[in-house]
Amino acid sequence: MPKLGTRKLYYLLEDQLKQAGIKIGRDALFNYLRSEPMLIKPRKNHTKTTNSKHWLRKYPNLMKQAKASRPEEFFVSDITYIKTREGTHYLSLVTDAYSRKIMGYELSDDMSAENVVKAMKMAAANRLTNKQLIHHSDRGLRYCSAVYQKELVRNDVTPSMTDGYDCYQNALAERINGILKGGFLIHKYSNGKELKKIIEESVNTYNNRRPHLSLSYKTPNFIHNKKPVKLASQV
């Protein structure tokens, strides 16, 4: 986790620092890392991958006034691009809104609906419950396509979409994309095969080892497998 962030780093190291007799608080750790040019420099980069101007049916936003209260109540999906020396690849992610766990993913060389839907198929296979589930996404052509909507119907999942092109209405999905790209996929890899292996390792680390501020420093997999509790993001 090369770009974990100082708050999470301090949480993971706090006990070890105390055992080693090192007295340093979180703010002091920030100052130390700043003095050693080790703080993360945020990157501002956004490429539009959504085309919502099409004739296919769009669905109402069911997450507008809702907050997830349990795992597998809302899945959020998004697509992002990743460049290698071989070319441009596209990563489709399906994330549980409550636990922040990445439930399904697919790396492909194009954004065809047939490839994007593979992430949803993986997410459906990884479910632990059969409770009512809503799938939220942007209004992109792939999510509105017949092949994607048939997969939702097959798994008894209700579709939900943003109102037009408004990234804030699918902010959680875009945030998870940003964590993977900015915190794990920080190098330019040789080709799609190499990138696919790195993504598999990154998703596993993200789900099982990376603490989340919004999850009270618990990991997504820990929260997903536990009974619902009141999280920091819900206080």
Same domain, 213 and 161: yes
Structurally, how many domains does the chain consist of? 2
| Residue 54, domain member (yes or no) | no
- Cα dihedral 78, 54, 135, 194, rounded to 10, equals -30
Same domain, 210 and 157: yes
CA distance 74 to 136: 7
Task: Please name the amino acid found at residue 32.
Answer: Y
Task: Please name the amino acid found at residue 116.
Answer: V
CA distance 138 to 141: 9
CA distances from 201 to 103, 191, 194, 233 (A): 14, 16, 11, 27
Q: What is the pLDDT of residue 166?
A: 62
Q: What is the pLDDT of residue 13?
A: 80
Please state the φ and ψ torsions of residue 91, each to the nearest 5 degrees: -110, 120
Same domain, 39 and 108: no
CA distance 171 to 69: 18
| Residue 68, domain member (yes or no) | no
Same domain, 3 and 113: no
| Residue 66, domain member (yes or no) | no
CA distance 194 to 225: 30
Q: What is the pLDDT of residue 57?
A: 81
Half-sphere exposure of 133 (CA within 13 A, CB side): 24
**Kind and range of the H or E run holding 194:** helix 192-208
| Residue 65, domain member (yes or no) | no
Q: What is the pLDDT of residue 164?
A: 66
Structure tokens at 32: 């130390």
Same domain, 1 and 86: no
> pLDDT tens track of the chain, all 235 residues?
776 777 777 778 888 888 888 888 767 776 777 777 766 665 555 555 455 554 478 889 999 888 899 999 999 999 999 999 999 999 999 999 999 999 999 999 998 999 999 999 999 999 999 999 999 999 988 999 999 999 999 999 999 999 866 667 788 898 898 888 888 888 889 999 999 999 999 999 999 999 988 899 999 999 999 855 454 554 3
Q: SS3 for 38?
A: coil
Same domain, 79 and 31: no
Q: What is the pLDDT of residue 158?
A: 97
Task: Give me the domain span that covers residue 29.
Answer: 1-43
Q: Are 88 and 110 in contact (CB under 8 A)?
A: no
- Cα dihedral 47, 53, 57, 59, rounded to 10, equals 50
| Residue 224, domain member (yes or no) | yes
Q: What's the CATH code of the domain at 156?
A: 3.30.420.10
Same domain, 80 and 35: no
Stated pTM of the model = 0.78
Same domain, 172 and 87: yes
Q: What is the pLDDT of residue 226?
A: 84
Q: Are 193 and 90 in contact (CB under 8 A)?
A: no
| Residue 58, domain member (yes or no) | no
Please state the φ and ψ torsions of residue 106, each to the nearest 5 degrees: -155, 130
| Residue 220, domain member (yes or no) | yes
Same domain, 82 and 11: no
Same domain, 86 and 186: yes
Query: Going by DSSP bridges, is the β-strand pair 74-83/88-96 parallel, antiparallel, or unpaired?
Result: antiparallel
Same domain, 102 and 179: yes
Same domain, 5 and 98: no
**Kind and range of the H or E run holding 144:** helix 141-144
Q: What is the pLDDT of residue 40?
A: 66
